[in-house]
């Protein structure tokens, strides 16, 4: 390989007892797309934070074009030519594209606009500099983030799970951009759990396991099964078995649900109808931003309807549209929100205290006082049964890797033994082994008679586990489609609002 652009030698980083990176050696070649693969908690994000100057290594050396590199901050990394696009975007919605860019990139507005257009044409990142960010799709927002990085002429661009937020059409467009960037002389470091994507565009892949490098491979020479085996140390798990079942009583019903959000950037829902019975899994397909957030909040009770419209949402046969989340939970409803940091868990609290948030009715509070021993015991069981990799019940939620926190939240809600279980993006950021485990558990619950509603952008996931699928597009819900009689293209047609075809 040509002299590396970036070399890591013996890089280690600990958080307390956790050795997040141990003696990591990696060479990133110039003009390459280099994947970092590994299970949840393997240390991928930590490594990227070290390279971008968010954290400093405890030991080891980084070399940039052969010269030792010490970074005190992300600003220092950017000055050296290292840029990073985070999973959670950092744009101001009420400002325009150019206003957002001007906040971090110096220069005259006219020259900046010309440069935005130039980069857009060169790398397939077309976006209107005068558009307000709230008007843009997720794919377009990501383009703005990438353009903003490119304005500082980076030689290395780091992308942390860039495709997890994108609909399929935008993924292809992003890959086209990354290939053009590579051909234009930029190297890309790319974290993803999607092995097929890695095979499609990466020249090299480094596999991390428990903080250590366990291999460097050319991903094009291995199939997804091979890569999974290297990553998780065993064969790729089988998709969950779905046994035929006779659906039981209706557990959730939405009847003519129409709702206009207060938020001017929200998506109104129009005449949404669905029925979910005990012993079935219903999937809601579609791209976020088409009413998913509003629908989730109306089902969870975070948004309440006026009393006179309460019949539009029914749970276990009762009208609940006017009730809040706690009252709905009392009926046997459990809920995993899409936003695990803002609403699923409180970052600054221990896992045991996070258990209390929703599991308090299971004897974790007695006579109005927290029963800490019970909360700890509940949390230990959740950690053990759901393979949450953490130091224990006292660990703070903020110290868990993204995928492990997701496993904890899903596990906590499953332990409530709900009759009606609703999950939004249940395996977002979860590695392939753990995602299959979650899907298997959902199917097992369905076989036991639980009614399960899943909102997901991952069509494969919905086809794996759902009995029926409905598509949410522009605030309208399609009719119910039997999964076994439906093809992904049928879902795609509803996603773009085209409806059924012969
Ligand atoms: N700020 C922190 N405090 C304590 N522990 C941390 C902190 N950040 C990361 N860790 C721990 O370091 C390990 C590596 O975490 P990291 O986020 O790098 O994993 P990852 O491979 O990116 O995982 P995922 O795929 O789930 O995002 C995990 O055990 C995590 O709990």
Residue 379 CA, ligand 1 centroid: distance in Å: 19
- DSSP H or E run through 51: helix 44-51
DSSP letter at 475? T
Who's near 426: CB < 8 A, 6+ residues apart?
336, 406, 410, 438, 442, 454, 456, 461
Model-level ipTM above the cut of 0.90? yes
Element of type H or E holding 282? strand 281-285
Residue 433 CB less than 6 A away from ligand 1: no
Measured between alpha carbons, how far is residue 259 from residues 277, 291, 294, 299, 475 in Å?
Answer: 24, 10, 8, 12, 9
501 confidence band (pLDDT: 50, 70, 90):
very low
- Would you report the helix, strand and coil content of the chain in percent, each value rounded to 5? 40, 25, 40
Does the pLDDT at position 76 exceed 50?
yes
Half-sphere exposure of 437 (CA within 13 A, CB side): 18
pLDDT of 376: 94
Cα distances (angstroms) measured from residue 180 to each of 163, 175, 177, 186: 17, 9, 5, 9
Over 60: is that where the pLDDT of 502 sits? no
Least confident window among 19-28, 298-307, 414-423, 482-491: 482-491
What angle separates helix 351-359 from helix 372-385, to the nearest 10 degrees? 100
Ligand 1 midpoint to CA 44 (Å): 8
Domains defined along the chain, listed by start:
6-232 (3.40.50.300), 237-332+418-502 (3.40.50.300), 345-417 (no CATH)
**Dihedral pair phi/psi, residue 368, rounded to 5°:** 80, 0
pTM equals 0.79
Q: Is 74 in the pocket of ligand 1 (CB under 6 A)?
A: no
Distance 416 CA to ligand 1 centre (A): 27
Alpha helices, H only, 211-365: 224-232, 292-300, 325-330, 351-359
Local confidence band at 452 (pLDDT 50, 70, 90 cut-offs)? very high
Instruction: Give the pLDDT confidence of 292-312 residue by residue, as tens digits.
Output: 989 999 999 999 999 999 999
Give the three-class secondary structure for 252.
strand
Does position 223 have pLDDT exceeding 70, yes or no? yes
The CB of 399 under 6 Å from ligand 1? The reply is yes
Which mutation among 13, 16, 20, 212 tests ligand 1's pocket best, with the greatest number of atoms within 8 A of CB?
Answer: 20
35 in contact with ligand 1, CB cutoff 6 A = no
Is 40 near ligand 1, meaning CB less than 6 Å away?
Answer: yes
Q: Is the CB of 44 under 6 A from ligand 1?
A: yes
pLDDT of 268 higher than 60 = yes
pLDDT tens-digit profile of 143-160? 898 999 888 889 999 998
Tokens representing 157 are 């661009």
In Å, the largest CA–CA distance within the chain is 70
Q: Which atom of ligand 1 is nearest to the CA of 431?
A: 25
pLDDT > 90 fraction of the chain, expressed in percent and rounded: 61
More confident position, 246 or 280:
280
Q: Does the pLDDT of residue 53 top 50, yes or no?
A: yes
101 confidence band (pLDDT: 50, 70, 90):
very high
Q: Is the CB of 265 under 6 A from ligand 1?
A: no
- Cβ proximity of 472 and 286 under 8 Å: yes
């Amino acid at each position: 390989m040509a002299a590396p652009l970036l070399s890591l030698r013996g890089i280690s980083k600990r958080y307390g007892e956790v050795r997040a990176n141990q003696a990591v050696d990696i060479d990133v070649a110039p003009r390459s797309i280099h994947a970092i693969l590994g299970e949840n908690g393997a240390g991928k994000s930590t490594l990227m934070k070290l390279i971008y100057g968010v954290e400093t290594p405890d030991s080891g050396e980084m070399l940039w074009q052969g010269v030792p590199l010490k970074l005190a901050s992300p600003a220092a990394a950017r000055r050296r030519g290292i840029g990073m696009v985070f999973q959670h975007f950092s744009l101001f919605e009420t400002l325009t594209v150019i206003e957002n860019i001007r906040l971090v990139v110096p220069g005259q507005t006219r020259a900046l606009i010309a440069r935005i257009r130039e980069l857009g044409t060169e790398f397939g990142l077309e976006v209107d500099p005068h558009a307000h960010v709230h008007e843009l799709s997720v794919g377009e927002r990501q383009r703005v983030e990438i353009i903003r990085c490119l304005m500082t002429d980076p030689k290395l661009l780091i992308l942390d799970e860039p495709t997890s937020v994108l609909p399929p059409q935008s993924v292809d467009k992003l890959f086209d951009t990354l290939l053009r960037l590579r051909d234009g002389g930029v190297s890309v470091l790319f974290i993803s759990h999607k092995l097929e994507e890695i095979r499609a565009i990466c020249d090299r892949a480094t596999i991390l396991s428990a903080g250590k490098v366990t291999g460097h491979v050319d991903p094009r020479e291995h199939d997804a099964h091979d890569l999974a085996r290297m990553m998780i140390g065993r064969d790729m798990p089988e998709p969950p078995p779905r046994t035929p079942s006779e659906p039981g009583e209706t557990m959730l019903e939405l009847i003519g649900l129409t709702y206009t959000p207060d938020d001017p950037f929200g998506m109104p829902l129009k005449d949404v109808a669905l029925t979910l019975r005990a012993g079935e899994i219903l999937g809601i397909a579609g791209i976020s931003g088409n009413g998913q957030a509003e629908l989730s909040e109306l089902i969870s009770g975070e948004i309440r309807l006026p009393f006179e419209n309460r019949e539009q949402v029914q749970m276990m046969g009762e009208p609940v549209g006017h009730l809040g989340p706690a009252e709905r939970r009392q009926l046997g409803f459990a809920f995993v929100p899409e936003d695990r940091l803002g609403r699923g868990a409180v970052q600054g609290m221990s896992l045991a205290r996070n258990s209390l948030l929703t599991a308090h009715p299971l004897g974790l509070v007695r006579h109005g006082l927290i029963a800490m021993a019970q909360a700890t015991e509940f949390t230990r069981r959740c950690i053990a049964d759901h393979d949450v990799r953490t130091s224990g019940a006292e660990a703070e939620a903020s110290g868990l890797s993204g995928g492990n926190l997701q496993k904890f939240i899903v596990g906590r809600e499953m332990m409530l033994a709900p009759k009606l279980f609703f999950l939004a993006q249940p395996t977002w950021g979860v590695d392939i082994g753990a995602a299959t485990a979650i899907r298997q558990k959902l199917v097992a619950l369905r076989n036991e008679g639980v009614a399960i509603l899943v909102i997901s952008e991952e069509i494969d996931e919905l086809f794996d586990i759902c009995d029926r699928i409905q598509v949410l597009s522009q605030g309208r819900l399609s009719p119910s489609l039997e999964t076994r009689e439906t093809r992904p293209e049928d879902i795609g047609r509803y996603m773009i609002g085209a409806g059924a075809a012969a």
